[in-house]
A and B are shown apart, each in its own frame.
Chain A
Amino acid sequence: MSNQEPHQDPEVQDLISRHLGAIYSALEDAGAPEGHRFAVVDDVRSQISEMIGDKQPTVLEIRQLLAEMDAPESYAAGLDAVPDVTEPEKGKGTARPKATPLLFILSVLFPAGVLAFESYTGYCAGNMFDPIPTIWHVLLVALVPIANLFGFKALRTGKVGSPRLLLFANGAALGVTIFYTLLFLPVMPFAVFAILILGMGLLPLSPLFSLIGTAVMRKRLKAIAGAAGRGFPSHIGWGVGTVLIALLMMYGQEFLTNSALGWTAADDPSVRARGMAVLRSVGSEDALLRACYGEPRGRRMSPGPSWWPGVGHSTDQTKQAREVYYRMTGRSFTSVPPPANRRTPNGEWVDWLEVNPSNRDGSVGAVEHNLLLNGSRMDAIVDGDAGVGYVEWTMTFENRESWAREGRAQIALPPGAVVSRLTLWVNGEEREAAFARRGKVTEAYENIVRQKRDPVIVTTSGNDRVLMKCFPVPANGQLKTRIGITVPLNLVSRGEVEFTLPMFLDRNFAMGRDASHSVWVEVAGDVKLGGAVPLKVEHGDANSMRVTGKLSGADLDSRPVITVLRSDEPTTRTFADLVSSTTQVIEQEVKPGKIPRAERIVVVVDGSISMEPHRAAVEEALSALPMGSRAAVIVASAGETSEVGEFSTVTEASLEQMRKVVGELSCQGGQDNVPALEKALALLGEGKDGLLVWIHGPQPVIMKPLDTLLQGAERSNTQPIVYELQIAPGRDSILPEWDLVCDINKVPRGVTLGDDLKAFLAMFDGNYTRLAWNRQKRGRTADDATTTPTRSDGHVARLWAFDEVRRMAIRADWEQEFHAVELATAYQLVTPLTGAVVLENQQMFDDAGLTPVDASTVPTIPEPETWALIFVALAVGLWMVMRGRRTGVGTT
């Protein structure tokens, strides 16, 4: 019906509408086809408008006008001139289209049966892909047998009811079967082959059979629906169109995401840029996340390039997806839960790229939600006067899968800390690690993994970071391991030091439902707690204090700081050497050192989305750049085209410009920082008066090879001083490589990032004096002989050895490296050159040419029960002495 109604009076409109409606009903009652009814009503409406012309008729006038026209019921009589359209023409027979059993089987029984079979067994989902991953897919497929059932009923009874609805439903069913036929098309030839040879393989052909059944149904329904089945677009067309729109809504974004993912790997930079632009604007994070996993099994159906033959997700494409996921979101794909769908809950996702050893790149990999950290305790001792702490982190993993899994974690150590103990529980017994050259322990670990036995390994993964791997966490079983970390306390002043706990940067296991980190710190000295962490301080034994509590993952990530008060005298103390205690000692001094003025400073700021919450703090902190020095700010943004700053002398005006660069920074996705770092180093050139400060978020993927960056560091005679500040937790793939050839320091952290950074930059104005531990090894003297060894001696000696190894390891020649490895092994340290590995039994150690450390030489923390035993023994001893004195028994 027409929409244009010039008459304003609603009552007039109503009269006309009722007249037209009456005509429509009369024609309908008389059996006129719908097309005729609309055509006639339109003509009558047009006539009424012509008769009214420009006038604004009154109600009376319109009543009169309508009265002069033919009465609505007379239209039924007028139909006598119109032959019955459902009457078959001469020569075409009079039989109604047949509702045959074959049609019922093809169009109703078969699709319904296949839907029920797949829903119940998940056969296709398990072997190829999931054709009904969501409830919407189930409803869409269910539409086919339901629509065809009603169509079949109409054919059988001859009662069409509402032909429009019937044809629309048939069209929708047709759309669904066409879609699924196209989806299964690539495997249909194989299905035919399988039927011919094996007599099975009907499932992939079901969409085609249903399509044939629905198409036949369509033809027969049209024959009995009369004019309702004609015209364009027909009701069938509307049905197909509606399904297409539904599919577009369900898959459009995914299709676009998969296509754009392909563009990001193109040779043409403009195509790559377009791909990223599409992904950032309309890309589906969920679809990209699935591509990161390679959609290995129970995969969701993707009608895009990820499914069609020849363009599936290969290993390279999966790696590409992981890179793109970071660039799009600024996060590692492992930092979010795996994608879920109807048949594949989170726990069933497997990072096949990591499971396959040939694909391993040293990364932690995706979180596997059936691998849990069920127990975590940190027992620590802190000696404020000695300036050392030692923490043992005991972790219990539980594997709820039916196959063995490897637990992996990148752990951030407290600044300057070193792993000095590693154990694994084998058959209920705690076994110690062997410390040896990194390559040797890695090889031993891989060999044992292949045998599916029990090793655990810890190697460094950049400055103040270690990578821990343990295998196997047995199927439906547990694995317990312990890492001991020797921690140098951060000197705030001569009378105050800080102790921080290690934390996870990245892990492939989930935290158990009720899991938390149980903390117990025994401190020699008074304690202050910083930050709002759920830790409490209480009096311990003798002069010690005790800090205890349970920390969530987030609490640990907030870097709780335990401040310890110490006596500032003497400034120099000596400690027994761990290896040659009879002849040598370690002398440790709190030494003020003037930080040389930095004449050339380059600040590299990551333009990733993770920087956004800290942008203002970084901008503000830049105001602390030393006046008169030459400085530049480089923003790592837009991936391949980093914004390059030039040196300018630091003045109020130039500071304003530099702050503006950061202030106006548009943080997007994940940015490759390597080009910006390369440009920063090129800008700084040679010289110790250069300072590079890299402020960055996680860098989970390496997008550009590090060769130039590493080569620059390796070939440089006098490298600039490099500091890095990671502003959010997450894996960094650049530091572990860069750290091997360049001495990379951490910006000291307190509670507030902005204040920390500001204080740090201000240190380089040439007037700043910083307190630092200075440790030296020297021969034992007569005075030293009276020194009473404490449990801190060994840790101070380890820290001395660690400093030595790091100093020697930077661009070491083979001889230096040899000595460094010897030193690290002797002091049982995990360094850039050495690692620690625990194997299941002595035979395995022997086969690998490794020697586990003697349990009596490892640092330990007495268990609370051990303390209790000692206390009881002392009490008993004391009681016996007292009793002996009273009774006169004893030496006389």
Chain B
Amino acid sequence: MRTWIAQMRKGLVELCVLAVLREREAYGYEVLQRLAEADSLAFGESTVYPVLARLAQDGMLRVRVAPSPNGPPRRYYRLTPLGAARLREMLSYWNEIQTEIAKLTKGDSE
């Protein structure tokens, strides 16, 4: 993967993870699978799991450990109010970026 793509994706991974958890809680692999549904957002576990750990540590996510039918217990993540606020903030900023970039690239796209 080219470096600039990796850099852009890295910048978005936190937003994407928070966005996946916006509706309901999910365990790590589930988050990974939902992100993988969109090719451009298919992050590897080596990226997603450290982000989940950091967001939990920072109070954005709440962790619940529950038994799994397939093996070791799952760590379920859900948004905390702080995480929800951070997501809103990020989305707002994302929209701003999108708008500004759209303005900048208006001629190119036509």
- Residues on A close to B: CB < 8 A? 2-7, 23, 27, 32-33, 35-36, 39-40, 42-54, 69-71, 74-75, 77-83, 85, 227, 230
Residue among A39, A46, A74 making CB contact with B44, cutoff 8 Å: A74
A49 touching B70 in the complex, CB below 8 Å, given contacts A35-B57, A44-B45: yes
Q: Interface-forming stretch among B47-55, B81-89, B97-105?
A: B47-55
Residue among B53, B72, B75 making CB contact with A4, cutoff 8 Å: B72
Residues of A within 8 A of B72 (CB): 2-5, 42, 45-46, 49
Residues of B within 8 A of A48 (CB): 71
Q: Are A81 and B10 in contact (CB under 8 A)?
A: yes
Residue among A5, A70, A82 making CB contact with B51, cutoff 8 Å: A82
Residue among B46, B56, B68, B71 making CB contact with A70, cutoff 8 Å: B46
| Bound-state Cα–Cα, A36 to B75, Å | 13
For the complex of A and B, 6 pairs with smallest distance between CB atoms: A49-B71, A2-B72, A43-B28, A70-B46, A39-B53, A47-B29
Q: Are A36 and B45 in contact (CB under 8 A)?
A: no
Residue among B32, B44, B50 making CB contact with A36, cutoff 8 Å: B50
| Bound-state Cα–Cα, A48 to B32, Å | 12
User: Helix, strand, loop or mixed for chain B's interface?
Assistant: helix
Q: Are A46 and B54 in contact (CB under 8 A)?
A: no
Pairs across A and B, CB under 8 Å, 20 listed: A7-B71, A35-B57, A40-B52, A42-B72, A43-B53, A46-B72, A46-B73, A46-B74, A46-B75, A47-B28, A47-B32, A53-B70, A74-B46, A77-B46, A78-B49, A80-B10, A82-B51, A82-B53, A82-B54, A227-B57
Q: Beyond the given A35-B53, A74-B44, could you list 5 further A-B residue pairs with CB under 8 A, ordered by the A residue number?
A: A35-B57, A36-B57, A46-B75, A49-B70, A81-B10
Residues of A within 8 A of B45 (CB): 43-44, 47, 69-70
| Bound-state Cα–Cα, A2 to B50, Å | 17
A43 touching B51 in the complex, CB below 8 Å, given contacts A70-B46, A81-B10: no
Is B90's CB within 8 Å of the partner chain A? no
B56 to chain A, nearest CB (A): 7
| Bound-state Cα–Cα, A3 to B65, Å | 13
Residue among B14, B44, B70 making CB contact with A78, cutoff 8 Å: B44
Interface residues of B in 1-35 (CB under 8 A from A): 10, 13-14, 27-29, 32
Chain A residue, CB-CB nearest to B52: A43
| Bound-state Cα–Cα, A227 to B49, Å | 17
Residues of B within 8 A of A53 (CB): 70
A46 touching B14 in the complex, CB below 8 Å, given contacts A35-B53, A78-B44, A227-B57: no
Residues of A within 8 A of B74 (CB): 46
Q: Are A78 and B71 in contact (CB under 8 A)?
A: no
| Bound-state Cα–Cα, A74 to B10, Å | 13
Residue among A4, A36, A75, A79 making CB contact with B71, cutoff 8 Å: A4
Chain A residue, CB-CB nearest to B67: A4
| Bound-state Cα–Cα, A71 to B44, Å | 10
Residue among B10, B44, B54, B75 making CB contact with A43, cutoff 8 Å: B75
| Bound-state Cα–Cα, A5 to B74, Å | 13
Residues of A within 8 A of B57 (CB): 33, 35-36, 85, 227, 230
| Bound-state Cα–Cα, A227 to B54, Å | 10
Q: Are B56 and A81 in contact (CB under 8 A)?
A: no
Residue among A27, A36, A46 making CB contact with B68, cutoff 8 Å: A46
Residues of B within 8 A of A79 (CB): 50
Q: Are A6 and B70 in contact (CB under 8 A)?
A: yes
A54 touching B70 in the complex, CB below 8 Å, given contacts A36-B57, A46-B27, A81-B10: yes
